[in-house]
């Protein structure tokens, strides 16, 4: 069972091989970038985790040059922070974290997009594959039980993101979907952070509440109640924001204890 910051899992050379099989013309630096980006945004790396170019290159079986190029791109995207140490002779690289203001602003954007998406889906629910939405909700509930019962090392948030992505795409509004996909990867990061706090605290009632909120959104869409769909979605996003910020506060409290 893979743990967070498990380099053998994160930097599995088979991941690089699979990317190259799917696209034989891919640049090595692009493939390394994809692997590191996924690891950061899926929370396989903790915020603040140190990235060592030589270690990454050795684990993936590549030279240091494509790793350095990938990290430079991650720095430009704000996913990696560059630090100069030892009298400005050496650089170190650490995984980014978002401050509370960034999180709050991103949740405002998420609430605006997801809220109107829920409304539009309920308003024209014949466009929506409601069974797919329900399947994603069921997958998340199953992942939650896997974690609580100790059969998974962390709470998989992918089904949660799939639920929201399916709903936004179902609106068939190209402007709305473009806005959503612009920030989708950082929304995934927020989803992971929210689930982490609930999972670390083993808050069964709150985990169940998220699952129930998913079900309520699906039901409002199925019944064709736009206002209700948006209201439940707004409550869901507010709840996720509170728990995401609580996770940060809890983590900081633990750090200050040592």
User: Looking at residue 98, what is its pLDDT?
Assistant: 76
Q: How far apart are CA 220 and CA 235, in angstroms?
A: 13
- pLDDT at residue 73 in the model: 93
Q: What is the pLDDT of residue 250?
A: 63
Do residues 60 and 34 both lie within one domain?
Answer: yes
Residues 90 and 111 in one domain: no
Provide the pLDDT for residue 179: 93
Could you tell me the residue range of the domain that residue 245 belongs to? 100-256
Distance (Å, whole) CA 170 – CA 214? 16
The total number of structural domains in the chain stands at 2
**41 is written with which tokens?**
């945004």
List 81's β-bridge partners, or say none: 94
The b/e string for 167-206 (b: 16+ C-beta within 10 A; e otherwise) is bbbbbeeeebbeebeeebbbbbbbbbbbbbbbbeeebeeb
Same domain for 63 and 124? no
The whole-angstrom distance between residue 207's C-alpha and the CA centroid of its chain comes to 17
Does residue 2 sit within a domain?
no
**Given 43, 62, 95, which residue is the final one in a domain?**
95
Domain termination residue (choose one: 95, 112, 136): 95
Residues 216 and 171 in one domain: yes
Residue 38 lies in a domain: yes
Residue at 1 is within a domain: no
List all residues 6 or more positions away from 49 whose beta carbon is below 8 Å from its beta carbon.
Answer: 5, 94, 95
Whole-number pLDDT of residue 191: 74
Q: Compute mean pLDDT per 10 residues along the chain, 258 residues long, and list them.
A: 68 92 94 91 83 94 95 88 75 85 89 97 96 93 78 71 93 95 79 67 72 95 98 94 74 62
Give residues with Cβ within 8 angstroms of 203, minimum separation 6: none
Q: Report CA dihedral (150, 207, 127, 175) to the nearest 10 degrees.
A: -100
The answer to whether 158 and 164 are in contact (CB under 8 A) is: no
Separation between Cα atoms, residue 76 and residue 84, nearest integer Å: 16
CATH of residue 230's domain is 1.20.120.530
- At residue 86, the pLDDT reads 64
Quick check: is 157 in a domain? Answer: yes
The pLDDT score that the predictor gives to residue 1 is 41
What confidence score (pLDDT) does residue 230 get? 98
N- to C-terminal Cα separation, the chain:
28
Alpha-carbon span 196 to 39, nearest angstrom? 15
Whether residues 35 and 129 share a domain: the answer is no
**Helix residue ranges per DSSP H, 23-129:** 28-41, 53-60, 64-77, 100-123
Q: Which of 67, 95, 123 is the last residue of a domain?
A: 95
| Shared-domain flag, residues 150 and 226 | yes
């Amino acid at each position: 069972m893979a743990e967070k910051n498990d380099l053998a899992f994160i930097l599995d050379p088979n991941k690089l091989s699979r990317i190259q099989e799917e696209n034989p013309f891919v640049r090595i630096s692009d493939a390394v970038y994809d692997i590191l980006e996924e690891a950061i945004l899926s929370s396989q790396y903790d915020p603040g985790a140190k990235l060592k170019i030589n270690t990454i290159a050795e684990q993936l079986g590549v030279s240091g040059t494509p790793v350095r190029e990938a990290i430079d791109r991650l720095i430009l995207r704000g996913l990696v922070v560059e630090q100069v140490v030892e009298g400005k002779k050496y650089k170190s690289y650490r995984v980014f974290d978002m401050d509370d203001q960034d999180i709050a602003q991103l949740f405002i954007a998420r609430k605006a997009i997801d809220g109107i998406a829920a409304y539009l889906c309920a308003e024209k629910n014949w466009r929506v594959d409601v069974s797919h939405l329900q399947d994603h909700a069921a997958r998340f509930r199953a992942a939650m039980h896997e974690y609580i019962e100790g059969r998974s090392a962390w709470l998989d948030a992918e089904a949660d993101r799939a639920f929201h992505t399916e709903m936004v795409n179902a609106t068939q509004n190209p402007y709305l979907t473009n806005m959503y996909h612009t920030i989708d990867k950082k929304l995934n990061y927020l989803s992971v952070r929210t689930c982490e706090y609930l999972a670390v605290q083993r808050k069964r009632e709150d985990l169940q509440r998220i699952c129930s909120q998913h079900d309520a959104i699906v039901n409002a869409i199925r019944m064709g109640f736009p206002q209700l769909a948006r209201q439940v979605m707004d409550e869901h996003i507010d709840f996720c924001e509170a728990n995401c910020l609580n996770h940060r506060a809890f983590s900081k409290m633990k750090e200050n204890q040592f």
